[in-house]
Structure 1
Amino acid sequence: MTLPPAPATVIDASGAPLCGRHAGLAQAFDWARLAQPHARGGLWRLLHHKRWHYVALATPQLFCAVAIVDLGWASTAFAYAFDRRKGKLVASFSRDGVPGLSASVAPHAAASSCSRFRFLSQTISIEAAPQQRYRLRLDSGHFGIDAEFGPPVSPVLLAVGPVAGGSVHATQKSGGLPLWGTVRCGAVGYSLDDGVASFDYSNGLLARETEWRWASAHGLDIGFNLQAGYFGAQENALWLDGQLYPLARAHFDFNPDNPLSPWHVWTDDDLLDLHFKPEGARREERQLWLAASRYIQPIGTFSGWVRASASAPKRIVAQLAGVAESHRSRW
């Protein structure tokens, strides 16, 4: 199934969201223009508008993740580096910012976009560079990343749709992107050259209680994104040999009490069946006055098979590096 090209904006001239899955980057996520029944007042949008920009960097030795999150009334950022050979986190960063000042998540992920986080001398930036490339910089003293990635070797997914308890959400998910650069963890340096990057740009009006399971892993020729929870199957996708294919509803079989035990993920359309073997995890549980978050993101490898259609031969997936996630937020 070929996806239609992405529209320039995710809302049409009448104020209706352009729901569905598309191939390409949108340039406007203007929820203030929504018409009924999706329209909401300005205060409601302020409290429910959530934006984040997440980047994953993978090599045979290292897996890094960086995120900038704008909750409207608050902001936060995190980053970590996981040494896959040692089986442990070798650097991490997590910081809440000053509302309206510390975090600036770009209004889109297309050309000229820039997301930033700053708290005192600690900084993160994710910028779109010329020729469909991206630059990621992190400086938190002991932990630094200087990376470039792109251009895309396969189409970027745009998914737009309603969310229960909220209004409308949209997300951009990339396939695997060529990667190069360096990571500094204290006195130890790592090369990112010949690695693979991917990104997740999400922008929507979400419910106060939001929960999901997520899995994502990418090479340059194969990759996938799966989600079960607040957004249904709308962002489920497979990247295979430069092509983008939509996937049906995803299932996550894992032990919440022992998330470092093996996971099994599959889709209803019989296009993906994978087993995930965690190597370690980043986890965080926070209880604040207005908000709460319970989050675990195991890092590991996926093995099994995928295919482009029910009649296509199965493509073997062997130890593809990526993450799974279980996340529940009150925000």
Structure 2
Amino acid sequence: MSTNTAQWTPKLLTSSAAPQRLIDDRGHAIYGHFDGPVTELGVKHFGYFNEMDKPASSWAKHFDYKQFQFISIVTPHYVIGVALADIRYVGSAFCYLYDIEQNQLIEVNWLKPLGLGYQTSESPMQGVGKIKSAKGSIEFVIEQGVWQLKLNTLGIEANLHLQPEPLSLPMAMCNPTGYSGWTYTQKHNALKVSGSLVINHEPQPLQRATAGYDFSAGYMRRETSWRWASINSLTKDGSSIGLNLAAGVNETGCHENVFWCNGERHLLGAVHFDFIRQISDMEPAKSWRIYSENGQVDLRFTPKNCRKEKLNLWLLKSNFRQYLGYFDGVITDNFGQKHQLQKVLGLTEDHFARW
């Protein structure tokens, strides 16, 4: 990665101090970007109404709430992706292990009914999310906003702490969703990794490992879709870069697009994802273009592998594709510095959900 001075500086996007509780005393969500996690979502205080402005039933208030958590770990040899979702009707989870040199991906999946055998953290500041079966176990532990991953599956034994750079801020925001809902999203990329990681009985060095997490929760649209891009990477000179870009969700009032360089957070504007979705499994995936109209983001993503899943369960549907591949292009930060990316490993995702 190289840097040089751009000819313009975009208008800086602002954020405010994180509220103690996301739902205020009137039962309304507090919207905007925050300089840190909220301590409590306060879902029980939310005044939820239906489309005709009538108070929603307790059934609707319970089952319309969705939540998911995701962690990506990138080492010189492997990428690990771990997700846990609670969509009330069912709990689902997956873990994959991607061998970078061999371009091979293996995975395991969980599906649990109605809250049985899994849990998610109620707070992005403190809590536990976990799932366990004969296939293995996943556990996310959050203590004072710092994430820990415990993993035992696919030949992976992990007990890892994800640590941000000093003074590094996460992307934490809340937007209105649909007619009467809201979505809280918190992400932090380019985190240092410490602890222990053993893959197929072989201890993995963590000096050049990096990671990112995602905590998302709220009253999301019954039918939704999104495009997403993520980078957790270390450059040859030891600098860290992180990227989170999305389109299709969290775009009412502010965006979840952000770039981190050595822990410094740069909030970005809207981006477009240009790619071909309708290709057969026999065809190689085409490259993506991800860009903003003001030129601050101009990237090309070349897929190399994909973790995909299609579920059609009548009331519930999911068409999920998460690609692993390489980014090339330019990101201009909010100080006007251009960051040139050349074959930087990362993720993209294309997802439709009805839940």
Q: Contact 1:248 / 1:268 at 8 angstroms: preserved in 2? A: no
Say whether residues 1:108 and 2:123 are aligned partners.
Answer: yes
* 1:55 positional shift: 0.3
Structure 1: segments with no counterpart, 5+ residues: none
Give deviations 1:53-93, integer Å, cap 9, x for gaps: 1000012221111011111121011010101111111x311
The aligned residue for residue 4 of structure 2 is: none
Alignment match of 1:318 (pick from 321, 339, 342)? 342
Of residues 181-190 and 39-48 in structure 1, the stretch that sits farther from structure 2 once superposed is 181-190
- Mapping 1:136-285, distance limit 5 Å: 136-140=149-153, 142-153=155-166, 154-164=168-178, 167-186=181-200, 190-219=204-233, 221-232=240-251, 234-258=255-279, 260-285=285-310
Count of aligned pairs: 327
The residue type equivalent to 2:319 in the other structure is R
- Mapping 1:39-118, distance limit 5 Å: 40-89=56-105, 91-110=106-125, 112-118=126-132
Say whether residues 1:33 and 2:48 are aligned partners.
Answer: no
The residue type equivalent to 1:318 in the other structure is Q
1:174 is paired with a residue whose SS is: strand
* 1:198 positional shift: 0.5
Give deviations 1:102-135, integer Å, cap 9, x for gaps: 221101221x3211112356321011247x6432
The aligned residue for residue 288 of structure 1 is: 313
Instruction: Normalising by structure 2, report the TM-score.
Output: 0.84
Of residues 207-216 and 317-326 in structure 1, the stretch that sits farther from structure 2 once superposed is 317-326
| Cα distance change of structure 1 residues 121 and 204 upon mapping to structure 2, 3 Å threshold | same
Larger Rg: 2
2:89 is paired with a residue whose SS is: coil
Give deviations 1:5-61, integer Å, cap 9, x for gaps: 222221222222111111211111123322476874321122211111100001222
Give deviations 1:124-161, integer Å, cap 9, x for gaps: 1011247x643211223644433222144420111101
1:54 is paired with a residue whose SS is: strand
Structure 2: segments with no counterpart, 5+ residues: 1-11, 234-238
Alignment match of 2:36 (pick from 7, 11, 24)? 24
| Cα distance change of structure 1 residues 181 and 84 upon mapping to structure 2, 3 Å threshold | farther
Q: Contact 2:23 / 2:46 at 8 angstroms: preserved in 1? A: yes
Q: What is the aligned-residue identity percentage?
A: 25
Q: Contact 2:165 / 2:263 at 8 angstroms: preserved in 1? A: no
Say whether residues 1:328 and 2:352 are aligned partners.
Answer: yes
| Cα distance change of structure 1 residues 118 and 166 upon mapping to structure 2, 3 Å threshold | farther
* 1:283 positional shift: 0.6
| Cα distance change of structure 1 residues 145 and 290 upon mapping to structure 2, 3 Å threshold | farther
The separation in 1 between residues aligned to 2:142 and 2:181, in whole angstroms, is: 28
Of residues 154-163 and 30-39 in structure 1, the stretch that sits farther from structure 2 once superposed is 30-39
RMSD: 2.3
2:40 is paired with a residue whose SS is: coil
